[in-house]
Amino acid sequence: MTLKERLQEDLKAAMKSKDALRLSVIRLAKAAIMNLEIARGHELNDQEIIEVLVKEAKQRNDSLPEYERAGRNDIVEALHQEIKIIHEYLPAQLSEAELHQIIQEVIKQVGASGKQDLKKVMPALMPKIKGRADGKLVNQIVNTLLGE
C-alpha cells in the first residue's frame, strides 16, 4: 500500500470515527500533496510525499515557540498532537547515535577535514537521512564533527 493510499484509508477511518483532529491533519496533508502534484505535473511517489509530510511537521514545529511565548497552551497542545499524527506517516526517526555514525561515515567517504568541506558532506549525506532526521540537528552534528 502506498503512502497516498494509506492516507486515503486513514481519512475514511477518521471520518467514520469522527476524529476531527486526525481528519483535519490528513486533509491538510492531502491538500499539500495535491498542490505539489499540480505544481510538478505528475503524481508524487512515496519519497516525495514524505518530503511534503516533513515540511508539514516542520511548519508546525516552527510555530510552536511563538504560541508558547504568547501563552496559548491550547494551540501548543493541538500542534503537538498534529505533529504526532504526521509522524505516524514518516519513516522511523534516527537516534542521535545512529545519526552520528552515518555522518561520520559520510565524512570519511568524501574526505572532509574541516568546516570548509560542509558543501561536500551535505549533498552526500541528505539522501541517506532524508525524512528520518531533523535538519537542524543534522547541521549541528555535522558542524561539530567537522570542527573537531
If you classify domain 96-147 with CATH, what class do you get? Answer: mainly alpha
CATH of 3-87, one of 1.50.10.10, 3.30.450.40, 1.10.1510.10, 1.10.150.120: 1.10.1510.10
Give per-residue pLDDT as tens, 12-27: 999 999 999 999 999 9
Position with higher pLDDT, 145 vs 6 = 6
From 13, 47, 6, select the one nearest 30 (Cα to Cα). 6
Q: What's the confidence (pLDDT) of residue 20?
A: 94
Backbone angles phi, psi at 35, to 5 degrees: -60, -40
Domain boundaries, the chain: 3-87, 96-147
Q: Among 129, 133, 110, 130, which residue's Cα sits nearest to residue 121?
A: 110
Q: Is 121 within 8 Å of 147 (Cβ atoms)?
A: no
User: Residue 148 pLDDT > 80, yes or no?
Assistant: no
When pLDDT is averaged across residues 99-109 and rounded to a whole number, the result is: 89
H/E stretch holding 39 reads helix 20-40
Tell me the whole-structure pTM to 2 decimals. Answer: 0.76
**Residues 111-138: tens digit of each pLDDT:** 888 888 788 888 888 888 877 887 788 8
For 103, other C-beta atoms within 10 Å of its C-beta total: 22
* 129 and 99 Cβ atoms separated by less than 8 Å: yes
